[in-house]
A and B are shown apart, each in its own frame.
Chain A
Amino acid sequence: MAHRWAMVIDLDRCTGCETCMAACHAENNIATVDAKQAARGRAMHWIHVERYWEGEFPNVRARFQPVLCQQCDAAPCEPVCPTYAAYHNEDGLNAQVYNRCIGTRYCANACPYTARYFNWWNPVWDKPLQLQLNPDVSVREAGIMEKCTFCNQRIVATEIQAKAENREVQDGEVKPACVQSCPTTAMVFGDLDDPNSQVSRLARSMRATTLLSELGTNPKVIYLERESSHGND
């Protein structure tokens, strides 16, 4: 049975702790580049916390926004890929087939969220760091585009498990690494097709919004806006 996997990120809970980022690196075999490459903007963080300043000292506030692939229903990255490396899978996810990718990087330009990461070099793991690599996730070579997959390997594993046990996948059973690690439970993952799932309920919140909604990409990452307390600011 097909699902419509989606994520809700409550910006009122997000504290910018970046645990999601480290968890994502560990789960998805994301390469660290190095200082020189990072300085050139080539650091790879499939999910990262964007920080926006508001106001000036002393009335200053910082706003955090974790940004990852928004898994758009109308994804600008998909139609532009000439080799179907970026395509829409049956669960509605923007899948990236590494083997098909020839590295036009068109998808990355088309992505309004800049959520795609290119392997400028072959990834390097100084021995024995390669032992930490997750065997469930392929390692990408130079010249290939990669991005957040909503931890598709976990989705698939859970679906297979459920099928083996002849049951449906339960709400909350699938947890991408970032969701699993989020200390404040700012992130919730689930099936939008199930009206009773936690994501569906949260997506109906008054605070629900999507990033750059004016572009009509219909993201499946839904943000709940940060509140301010008791009308004091």
Chain B
Amino acid sequence: MATTSIAPEYAIDIKPDQIRQDLLRPIFQTSRRFYVLVFFLVAIGLPGIFLYANQMSEGMGVAGITRPIFWGIYIANFVFWIGISHAGTLISAILRLVNATWRRPVTRCAEAITVFALAIGAQYPIIHLGRSWLFFWLMPYPSERGIWPNFRSPLCWDFFAISTYLTGSTAFLLLPIIPDWAVVRDRASGFRKRIYTILALGWRGTPREWHRLEVAMRIMAVAILPVAISVHTIVSWDFAMAPVPMWHSTVFGPYFVAGAIFSGIAALIVAMGILRKALHLEEYLKPSHFSNLGKLLLVMSLLWVYFIFAERLTVWYGNQPAEMAAFWSIQRGRFAGLFWTMVSCNFLIPFPILAIKKLRTITGTMIASSTVVVGMWLERFLIVVPPLEHKYLPYEWGTYHPSVTEIGIAIGTLCGMILLYVLFAKLVPIISIWELKGGQHKKPFAEQALSAASRSGVHLDSTLPSTNS
């Protein structure tokens, strides 16, 4: 592995002790703000659970979906969250593979977004089922029903894609946490120590362990990339495989993947911005990180515009009557307001902010990212709903209005997502301690540790190769 020196704007010139102190602080100190935040998230999110329980006992009728709009914001949310999940693992994996050293403070909070967004997003296909309690019939297992799932169904592909991605990205998140948990373990006492002892999986920091971690991370980084791409492609195929006007399109695969990465980066920037303030990580998450991610967001914004233009142009040029009904309802009908809001949120607002260097500040990228997150939700909504409102037979057209249940569950899952993230930031160092520290060395830890170990022939401190306090 090539050794790279760190450019000065990313250099984190902090003593290892300070790093440890800064990054472990949330674990050992609990502020009132934390409790207040958790309380509010639970309070706002809890109705969602009641609404879902009510939906199961009463029937899907409590949702706003109807004939022929059989999918509504449940599915829009599903696609949105799966899209958000593309921030972390994908970016982290790419940055790891190209060994971009500035990635170090970013990867973990990105990977956590992936896992939680995926976990939340994966709820939606279940929430939206008419008979949620039978969701496991999607799984292939030899059942007494004597029937396998239909492997031709994109929903079945979804199941495999999402479960693979969730497993993979969870491993991708957890593997590099192990050494950090060991750090916590070594500093904790009592109940907390017992918990972190279990979580640390007996990590001792031997060179073999470091080596294996390094190899595992490299394999994971390579393996997770195609999985991530495939997941959103398959999600897009949920639509593209159905002969619904404006769904049945070959552009949907790459379009969805680009959109996913786009919204993912935006979500990551937002999360980083908030973490930076809330956990006082100003020294770690520097303007340059935001600027760099902002550039990436800029590229994705352009890509997104390109895709939506290509998609709309081909539909308009093709001029197929059934497609044109949905097309015009978006361009200048009932959904025109939402459409132009989406274009503003995804391009007109973020583009100048991100393109002009002066504006590409932390605040600037935060504003741009927030609008992109909103815009990308709208995009999902506009993909799902207007085509279903305008299928082939005009007599059968319908209109969709989301119900309280759907909105309540959407808010509930948003709160759930934030809550999971908050709890994660509370229980795990949100910036990888060892990677950050490793970044301060000329050589990667493993090499260094290995050589050190071989030289001295002694067991190292179980936490970090450079520990000598």
Query: CB-nearest residue of chain B relative to A106?
Result: B155
Cβ–Cβ contact B61 & A110, under 8 A: no
Min CB–CB distance B184 → chain A (angstroms): 42
Whether A119 contacts B59 in the complex (CB less than 8 A), given A76-B242, A79-B153, A82-B155, comes out as yes
Contact of B316 with A by CB under 8 A: no
Complex Cα distance A50/B399, Å?
18
Q: Does A144 contact B (CB under 8 A)?
A: yes
B404 to chain A: closest CB distance in Å? Answer: 14
Q: Say yes or no: is A4 at the interface (Cβ < 8 Å to chain B).
A: no
A212 / chain B contacts, CB cutoff of 8 Å = 392-393
The answer to whether B130 touches A118, judged by C-beta atoms less than 8 angstroms apart, is yes
Which B residues, 180 to 208, have Cβ-Cβ distances below 8 Å to chain A? none
Instruction: Count A-side interface residues using an 8 Å CB cutoff.
Output: 41
B317 proximal to A (CB < 8 A): no
Set A79, A110, A144: member contacting B131, Cβ < 8 A: A144
Is there a chain B Cβ closer than 8 Å to A120's Cβ?
yes
Do residues B138 and A76 form an inter-chain contact, with CB atoms below 8 A?
no
B60 & A80 in contact (Cβ 8 Å cutoff): no
Q: With A and B bound together, what is the CA distance between A122 and B149 in angstroms?
A: 26
Complex interface: chain A residues within 8 A of B59 (CB): 119-122, 142-143
Task: Beyond A102-B130, A117-B67, A121-B61, list 6 extra A-B contacts (CB 8 Å).
Answer: A104-B155, A106-B153, A106-B242, A109-B68, A142-B61, A212-B393
Query: Which residues from 89 to 116 on chain A have a C-beta closer than 8 Å to any C-beta of chain B?
Result: 100-106, 108-110, 112-114
Q: Which residues in B have their C-beta under 8 angstroms from that of A67?
A: 393, 395-396
CA distance A34 to B58 in the complex (A): 16
Complexed CA–CA distance, A110 and B238 (Å): 10
List residues of B whose CB falls within 8 A of some A CB: 58-61, 65-68, 70-71, 125, 128-131, 134-135, 137-138, 145, 147, 149-150, 152-156, 159, 238, 241-244, 388, 391-396, 398-399
Task: Report if A143-B129 is in contact (Cβ < 8 Å); known contacts: A80-B154, A112-B392.
Answer: yes
Q: By the criterion CB–CB under 8 Å, are A82 and B149 in contact? A: yes
Chain A facing B: main interface SS:
loop
- CB of B61 within 8 A of CB of A42, answer yes
Find the residue from B61, B134, B155, B394 having the highest chain A CB count within 10 A. Answer: B61
A76 to B239 CA separation, bound complex (whole angstroms): 12
Given known A103-B130, A104-B155, A110-B242, contact A82–B68 (CB-CB < 8 A): no
Known: A109-B388, A113-B393, A114-B396. A79 touches B152 (CB 8 A): yes
Q: Is A125 an interface residue (CB 8 A)?
A: no
Q: For A42, list chain B residues within 8 Å (CB).
A: 61, 66-67
Q: How far is the CA of A81 from the CA of B238 in the complex (A)?
A: 11
